[in-house]
Each structure stands twice: as C-alpha cells, then as structure tokens.
Amino acid sequence: MEENIIKGEKIERKIFWNVGELTYNLLINFKNTVLQIDAATNQELTGSILLKRAVRLATFFKKYGIGLGDTVAIMSENRLEYCTVPVASFFVGATIAPLNPDYTVGELNHILNFSKPKLIFATPSAASKLKQVKEKLDCVKHIILFDSNEENDIFLSFNNIIKGSEDENAISTFSVEKYNPKETVAAIFCSSGTTGTPKGVMITHDNITSCIEIWSHNISRMKIDKNEDPRDVIIGITPFCHSFGFITMYFYILRGKLMIVSQKFSPTIFLDTIVKYRIRTIVAPPTLLVFLIKNPIVKQYDLSCVKEVIAGASPLGKETEIELRERFKFRHAGQSYGMTETTWGVISSPHQETKLGSVGRILPGMMAKIIDDKGNALGPYENGELCLKGPMIMKGYIGNEATTLNCIDEDRWLHTGDVAYYDNDKYFFIVDRTKELIKYKGFQVAPSELEDLLLSHPAVNDAAVIGLPDEYSGELPLAFVVKKPGKDVSSDELKRLISENLSSQKQLRGGVIFIDEIPRNHVGKTLRRVLKIEAVKRLLKHKF
C-alpha cells in the first residue's frame, strides 16, 4: 500500500558532476585548509598538498594507461596518503577497490578475481601476501608501496611517483576526465562477508554525490549554533577499507572539515586525541562506544568536550545507549542505519530528537518500507523485512547478476535482510538480522536483545549470542561472554539475569561459554559463524 511506503523529504539535486570533478573544484577552494592530521605523528595534510599529490598520481595513471573502466586497489591501514589514491582515481575515471589489510591470501584471491585491479597500493607489511597473489593474477601489473623506495619488476614506490608534486603549474594544466556519473562505478566495496564469501558492491559516482547532497542537507537541519558545528573535527578510527570508514573520510574532505586519522585503535591515542583536539562528535561502531562505558581508563580523561555520539556499522543496544546518555550527558546520542549496499547511512536519528532503541528516520530523497513474506507493505509496529529505495542504492554486485537480482527487485527496492518495524512517528527500529535470528521451537529469538541484557551486567565486558543446533528444538540460545578484568560472574548468574527479564523462548538453554575475546570483523560486526563452529566443536567433544 502506498501509505505504508515511508518517504524522506524531497530535495532538489544540484550536483551533476562526477566525483572527480566535484573533488577537484572543492580542493581548489580548500588549498589552505588542513583536512587531515595523523594522530600519532601530528603530520598535517592540507587541501593544497592533497590536490598536488592527486594530480601527480593521476598524471602517472594516464601515462600508465589507467582510466575509465580500470580498477585500482588499495590495501592499507588508515593513513594520510590513503585519500590521494581514490582522489587520483576519480580524476581519471578509474574505479577504487579498498581491501582489508588483514585479508589472507585466499581471501585476496577471491576478491581480486572479481575486482581485477591493474595496480595495488599497499603498505610494506602486505607486500608478501600481495606478491603471492600477483603470481596467479595477470591483471595486476604492479604493487605500489607506501613507506618504501624499493622498485623492481613487481614493486613501485609511492614516494617516487609523487616526487615533484610541489609544482603549481601541474594543477593549472591538468584536466579532470568527464564521464557519466550515473553509470560509472566509483568504488567496489567488499560486503562484510559474515554470512558467506565477500561480494563486490558497485557504488557509482551518482551514489556518492547523492550521499553528499542528502547528508549535507541533513546536517544543515541540525539544531545547533552554526558557529559551533560539532562535526567540524572528527576522529577517523573506522577503517577506510570499509565503506562506512571510506565514505566518512571522503565526506569530510569534500566538506573541508578536519579528520584526525588513526591507523589503528589505541585506547590512549584515541582518548588523548579527543582531549587534544576537543573532539565534539564521535562517529563509530558500537564496540567503540561500549569501550567508553566499560574501560576504566576512560575515567582518567575529561571528555566533556564531546557533545554527540553516532553509532554506525551495526546496531547499538538499548542498554548501551542508556548508559552512554547517563554517563556522559551527551547533547545527542543516536544511531544511523546503512549497509555497504546503500553507500552510507540512509536512516538516521534526527539531531536531539532521538528515540531510545531507534535507528532514526529515513533520510531526504530516500524511501523505505517493511514487507511481509508475500511482499506486502506493512503498517506501523508490524515486523517484517526492511526494504530501501533511492539514489544511494548500489548499482549491483560485480560479476554476480543472479545475486543482484535476488537482492534488488525489478522496482529497484533493495531487500536488506534485516527485520524491522516503524512507529507512528516513522522512526525505524531494527529487530535483528534475518539470517542471524535464532529459531527456537518456531519462535524467532533476536541475539541482540540477549546481548544487550548481558552487557548490562557489571562483570560482563562483551557478549555474543548464537543458536546452538538442537535436534529437538531447532536451535538453543548460547552466550559467549568476556568477563571484565578483575570481575567474576558465573554462568548460572547470567542465565538467571536472562530468565528474570526475558520470555521463555529466549532463555540460554544452550549455556554460557566464557572466552577471552569475541571474534569480530574490522568494523566490529560479530563473526557468529566462527562462534557457531566453536560451539559445535565443544558440543561434539562433550558427546564423545
């Protein structure tokens, strides 16, 4: 039903350039603006330095025959040099393919087989893995290393390529390639791969410029003093190899705002950075926000400068949200919902108008609906699959038309696989991931609900709940728990916590297993399949 399709505010599109043209024109205006600072070394990257380096690298691309239809990969931790590669790629029309530095050789073989990059930029620590992969892939011509001057038939030096980029004349004589932003793929991001092998998500230039316009409009509606925009400075802690981290990084460049770049999470560097730069906004996965609550080192720091926190990449539990609000008295503590397939967040909590447990309202220019098993659009408070539509939805999965058609229907609705509902005010609530729901005797049990309650216990530092296979009941909820240092709790005590607060089908009949660390991917999503394998191993060992 049409009335059950939730539509965001209409906005007029004003950007018709490709991302390369947009970036070039904005960087001309940001020449004297410091865009990034390395959190560990305090080295600065201005708009002028970025533009000169990107023009130099783009000129190298052109001489090397890299352009429209070609792919350039980058396998690196967060660093100041990172953004030069996508900017230069967009200047010539090449597609950027970010890679997780932690990928194994096997994972790289799978991913590079569908992205097919001609060049791979990487840190020296990734050189040996990439060399093994290159031997099997004819498409990869060279590996370009950061922090190295080594050059041979396989490796080139990034430093040598950008040498001489100080030349101002190179900018005035350089021209950005023109190409169709709606059809041209700007980036190939890897889906998280928590429920199978990673897929290549094709994000177009129009997806990215739509994202920029939609979010710029959304920020303009924030109820704040425009002279004290809390989003002027941000910490770049989420890996740039993930769409959430990459788009956040690029968005801040296009806004001319400062990002403090952190290579990897370090509690002291993270907290020192907040205090030193008076960070007012933290945009991060929930695991980082749980750290702010749980880690005792946080109490040693004055974090009163932080005015808002926004959770992304995975759901923020109600108990965590409550504790964040009570502990820090943030002006705004909210969530955003998005997927790799939606470019960035497409549902977000309105500024200072959040609802507890909600991921917010659909953004301007986008549409959402909740459907039942027959595809009917449901009304308020009815659980079903969340579907999304609009200019931020991906083009599709590269080289995988069947999976694309299974995910995006003929009317261009993206079927997210997430169970959700919305209320009378059109705020959306994510119940759980369809494939992660535990099926106990026909009942659907959401792991996040149990995890949220377990995390409220003062002795619990982290928790993850999975379904343990059971012949009689289908699946039994089982909890993996990490204890807080110096604290103790028994499995019976945690089972009692669940029994006293949740209904019968949600009890921990599979038991409680105490472990040292919950396995997660690089953006903090729980690797439930890894935990399920471990649980089954323990079950089989116990039986025999």
Tell me which residue of 193, 176, 31, 25 sits closest to 99, measured CA to CA: 193
Using DSSP, state whether 384 is helix, strand or coil.
Answer: strand
Q: What pLDDT score does 285 carry?
A: 81
Q: How is residue 265 written in tokens?
A: 């999470």
pLDDT, mean over the chain: 89
Give me the pLDDT at residue 471, please.
Answer: 62
Q: Left (φ > 0), alpha (ψ -120 to 50) or beta: where does 440 sit?
A: beta
What is residue 539's predicted lDDT score, i.e. its pLDDT?
74
- Rounded to 10°, the helix 47-63/19-29 angle is 140
The whole-number pLDDT of residue 116 equals 95
3-state secondary structure string across 146-161: CCCCCCCCCEEEHHHH
* pLDDT for the residue numbered 226: 54
Residue with tokens 């990490």: 482
Q: How far apart are CA 352 and CA 141, in angstroms?
A: 51
- pLDDT recorded at residue 3: 82
Q: What is the Cα–Cα distance from 509 to 512, expressed in whole angstroms?
A: 9
Exposed e or buried b for every residue in 332-370, given b needs 16+ CB within 10 A? bbbbbbbbbbbbbbbbbbbbeebbebbbbbbbbbbbbbb
Residue 37, Cβ neighbours under 10 Å: how many? Answer: 21
DSSP three-state, residue 288: helix
Q: Are 454 and 483 in contact (CB under 8 A)?
A: no
Q: What's the CA dihedral at 293, 296, 301, 306 to 10 degrees?
A: -10
Alpha carbons 295 and 155: distance in angstroms, whole number: 42
- How many CA atoms lie within 13 Å of 444's alpha carbon, on the beta-carbon side? 11
Are 347 and 334 within 8 A, CB to CB?
no
Residue 279, Cα to own-chain centre: how many angstroms? 20
Look-up of token digits 């408070």: 381
Rg (CA), the chain: 24
The H-or-E segment that residue 405 falls in is: helix 401-407
Residues 6+ apart with CB under 8 A from 332: 307, 308, 309, 310, 349, 351, 352, 354
Q: What is the b/e burial string over 474-491, where b = at least 16 CB atoms within 10 angstroms of the residue's CB?
A: ebbbbbbbbbbeeeebee
Position 193 scores a pLDDT of 36
* Segments of the chain scoring below 70 in pLDDT: 1, 192-197, 222-231, 314-315, 432-435, 442-444, 471-472, 522-523, 540-544
pLDDT at 443: 67
Find residue 190's DSSP bridge partners.
200
Q: Residue 493: how many CB atoms within 10 A of its CB?
A: 12
pLDDT reported for residue 472: 63
φ and ψ at residue 140, rounded to 5 degrees: -80, 115
pLDDT digits 0-9 by tens, 520-535: 876 677 888 889 888 8
Question: Are 17 and 184 in contact, with CB atoms under 8 Å apart?
Answer: no
b vs e for 371-396, b when ≥16 Cβ sit within 10 Å of the residue's Cβ?
Answer: beeeeebbeeeeebbbbbbbbbbbbb
First-to-last alpha carbon distance for the chain, in angstroms, is 55
Number of other CB atoms surrounding residue 327 within 10 Å: 13
Tokens 């729980």, located at residue: 526
CB atoms within 10 A of CB 471: 5
Cβ count within 10 A of residue 48: 18
